[in-house]
Every structure is written in structure tokens, then in C-alpha cells.
Amino acid sequence: MLVTGSAILVPARAGKYGVGAFNTNNMEITQAIIHTAEKLRSPVIVQMSEGAIKYGGQDLANIVKDLANRASVPVALHLDHGSSYASALNAIRMGFTSVMIDASHHNFEDNMAETRRVVEAAHAMGISVESELGRLGGIEENIIVDEKDAFLTDPEEAVQFIEQTGTDYLAIAIGTSHGAFKGKGRPYIDQARIAKIGEMTSIPLVAHGSSGVPADIIARFRAAGGDIGEAAGIDDDDLRQACQHGIAKVNVDTDLRLASTVGIREVLHANPKEFDPRKIFGPAREVMSQVIEHKMRVLGSVGKA
Ligand code: G3H
Ligand code: 13P
Ligand code: ZN
């Protein structure tokens, strides 16, 4: 069933497990996300970025909503990185049940003002809201505290931000970053900061940039002719630990991009004569499903629906 983000994330925070928020851009990605959630009895969030809305529009939103309405587990349709009040309202008009207003590039006061405006409108329509405080980006373990404090989320500011905006869940900067190149080796995640923010707050916390960039997927990508540099993602243990301390929504896009490309590449590499789209996109959907299943097991959402 299609539900709000809060209906999924409040129990996750209380139960100390994470729920995957997977980005979709087409039918096969949406099927992989929702059908895997059903198979594993896991709640799930399907998210569309503004780029996904530009690409798939209401057609894609309707595919998500239809699958969600027919699903036997709770599914939310979420706007990822909404850049303005207008964008958030447009998503609500399209039938989204959760929206993000990302005003994290503004100063603290302006971020709060913009977030508050979206919260007021969204709550009037029964829709839940994610906002962001801090700047996403990889960090080195040994950089000095002052440098970390310059862009990672400050715990006291997080408390004030939540109180003054009424946001339903908050994305925090803790060392994760978007994309397939999150650092050299195992990217450093500021677990102490997550634990502190978790202790001082009670709403669900959100980790962006949480793809694992699995080594076996990268190896298959290369074996099938793909060219990728020093790819690195977030370690499974870092996510397990983070979910014990308040992270409840875990954003994953890159892993699905890599998995689908691996599926497509492997078919075309092995059989250059293939041109039936079902034989190309079908295997891509299968590789994505395996990656999604792994993530749901790591986050502990399996069996929670
Ligand atoms: O955080 C960004 C997501 O990976 C979505 O990316 O804007 O290219 O759709 P996109
Ligand atoms: P990844 O690039 O790690 O998949 O992060 C996606 C994300 O944060 C979407 O908002
Ligand atoms: Zn993000």
C-alpha cells in the first residue's frame, strides 16, 4: 500500500532498523525495488529526483503509485532533493507521499525558513517532509575537528533546526557523499557524530550517499567491458552501526545504476547479436533485485512489514 514517509520511518527509528530509499527512473527499477520489498516483507521508499521527474514525469510517478497501491508492504513515493517550494508542491500535486526540501546550501536561517514553508504546506495535505542540514562530502579520518565541523552536521544546530521547522526527518552530513567514488578504500563515517545527534533527537535521521559500490559488481562491470576508476562505497558495517543510532532512511541510487549497467553489459558482451529489449533489461532488473535484497538485509528491514 502507498503510505507516507513518516508511516514507514517512525517505526524504523523506534525499532533501530533502516529502510532503503531507492531512486527510480523507469519501470524495471521500480519493479526491482517494490517486488524485492514484497518478497522480503520489507517496507520501502521509492524516490524520484527532479531529474527523474523531468525524464519520466507523471507516467513514471503513476507506475510507482500503481505498484505501491497493489503492493502487500508499505511503500512511500518520495521527492529526492527537491530544490524549491514550487518543486515540493509540484511533487505533492503529482501524488508523492513524501517530499524533500534541500536548502542545505543556504545559510542556517534561510535553510530553516525555506524548510518551514514547505513543512507548513505539506503537512496541510498530510504529506511528510525531509530536509537537510550540513554539507555532504567525503572526509578523511584524521582531518582536524575544526575542518569536520565546517561542513558536517552540528548536533546542537540539528536540535534547533528540528524544533523550529517541524521537519519529519532530517538528512545529516556524516562523511557520506553521492556517486561511485566516495574515497580511497573504506570511506570514513563519523559514527560518534551520528550517535550524538541520535541521542539528542528523536525523529528519523537520513543518510544520503549510502551506496555500497560492491566489489563484485565493480569486477563484473569491468569484466563486461566497463571502464570505472577507483570506485568506493559505504561499508555495510557502517550502515548497520548507523541504524542503531538513529539513521532510519538510507538513500541508494548509484548501486542500482551500476547493477543495471552490469546486467545490460553482460548480455550484450556475451551475445552481440541480441536485440530483444526484454532479454537486455530483464537481466538488469535481476541484478538490481539482488543488490536491493542485500541492502535490505544489511539495514535490517527484512520481515518488518
Ligand atoms: O542524489 C542524487 C541522486 O543520485 C539522483 O540523481 O539527480 O541524477 O537523478 P539525479
Ligand atoms: P548514492 O550516490 O550513494 O547512491 O546516494 C544516492 C542519494 O543520496 C540520493 O539522494
Ligand atoms: Zn542524496
**3-class state of residue 190 by DSSP:** coil
CATH number at residue 67: 3.20.20.70
User: Would you state the pLDDT for residue 176?
Assistant: 96
Q: How far apart are CA 101 and CA 167, in angstroms?
A: 10
Host domain of residue 258: 5-299
Average pLDDT over residues 272-294: 98
For the segment 7-29, what is each residue's pLDDT rounded down to a tens digit? 999 999 999 999 999 999 999 99
Residue 148 confidence (pLDDT) above 80: no
User: Would you state the pLDDT for residue 137?
Assistant: 81
Number of CB atoms found within 10 A of residue 185's CB: 8
Query: Is residue 211 part of an annotated ligand binding site?
Result: yes
* Total-model pTM: 0.98
C-beta 285 within 6 A of ligand 1: no
Query: Is residue 178 part of an annotated ligand binding site?
Result: yes
Helix ranges (DSSP H) in the chain? 5-15, 27-40, 50-70, 85-93, 108-124, 145-151, 155-165, 191-200, 215-223, 236-244, 254-270, 277-299
102 within domain boundaries: yes
Beta-bridge partner residues of 21: 45, 251
Average pLDDT over residues 52-61: 98
For the segment 154-194, what is each residue's pLDDT rounded down to a tens digit? 999 999 999 999 999 999 999 999 999 998 889 999 999 99
For the segment 206-223, what is each residue's pLDDT rounded down to a tens digit? 999 999 999 999 999 999
270 within domain boundaries: yes
Given 80, 154, 168, 238, which residue is catalytic? 80
Domain count, the chain: 1
Average pLDDT over residues 24-45: 99
Q: How far apart are CA 155 and CA 82, in angstroms?
A: 23
User: Would you state the pLDDT for residue 142?
Assistant: 72
Please indicate whether residue 238 is annotated as part of the active site: no
Reported residue count of the chain is 305
For ligand 1, atom 6, name the residue with the nearest CA. 49
113 within domain boundaries: yes
248 within domain boundaries: yes
User: Which of the four pLDDT bands, split at 50, 70 and 90, describes residue 139?
Assistant: confident
Pick the ligand that lies closest to the CA of residue 49: 1
218 within domain boundaries: yes
C-beta 211 within 6 A of ligand 1: no
ipTM above 0.85, yes or no: yes
304 within domain boundaries: no
Q: How far apart are CA 256 and CA 259, in angstroms?
A: 5
Q: Beta strands of the chain (E only): which ranges?
A: 19-23, 44-49, 75-82, 98-101, 128-133, 169-172, 205-207, 247-252
User: Would you state the pLDDT for residue 184?
Assistant: 85
For the segment 76-105, what is each residue's pLDDT rounded down to a tens digit? 999 999 999 999 999 999 999 999 999 999
Query: Is residue 81 part of an annotated ligand binding site?
Result: yes
Average pLDDT over residues 251-260: 98
273 within domain boundaries: yes
55 within domain boundaries: yes
**Which residues have CB less than 5 Å away from ligand 3 (the ion)?**
208
Q: Which residues line ligand 2 (CB under 6 A)?
A: 23, 80-81, 178-179, 208-211, 251-255
C-beta 176 within 6 A of ligand 1: no
